[in-house]
Amino acid sequence: MAIGIPIKIVVLTIVGMAGLAAMLAFIDNGEGSIPKPIHADVKSSNLIILSAFNDTDDIDMAVEVMDSIKGTHLKKASVVLSGLGAASANLTNDNGHTILRFKKTDFDLKEGEGYLRLDVKANGFQDYASEFVIKIVK
């Protein structure tokens, strides 16, 4: 009886180690599952003076989105500019660029100035956010 228990423990340990080795073989090294950093840059002016626009004029803001590590442009990234009671969203094209449009009347400026927030999201990448990306002045 005493001889059977150590043999069972040895056999179960070997079977358990083989099962653990099989499970570890299926697990990837994990680098592909870590989100990569991105960077977004507003290509138009980061200061908008509303008195320079008519009520019907479009205020276009160009945004470029890139992979921070490789420096390549990201397509189909979701880009949102929001704040002051207005928001505009669009997806980037194949070159990583997008245009976000506003009207002068979209902004609710209770004080003389305010800021727009930029949010960017893309599959496999960390979310990017910038609180004070564009300053809006009456």
Q: Give the position of tokens 């009671």.
A: 85
Write down the pLDDT at residue 30: 65
Give the architecture (CATH level 2) of 35-137.
Sandwich (2.60)
- The residue-averaged pLDDT of 130-137 equals 93
| Angle CA 131–56–116, to nearest 5 | 0
The values of phi and psi at residue 80, to 5°, are -130, 130
- How far apart CA 9 and CA 2 sit, in angstroms, is 12
Domain boundaries of the chain, sorted by first residue: 35-137
Write down the pLDDT at residue 108: 86
Model pTM score:
0.73
- Encode pLDDT of 54-109 as tens digits: 888 889 999 999 999 998 999 999 999 999 999 999 999 999 999 999 988 888 88
- How far apart CA 116 and CA 51 sit, in angstroms, is 17
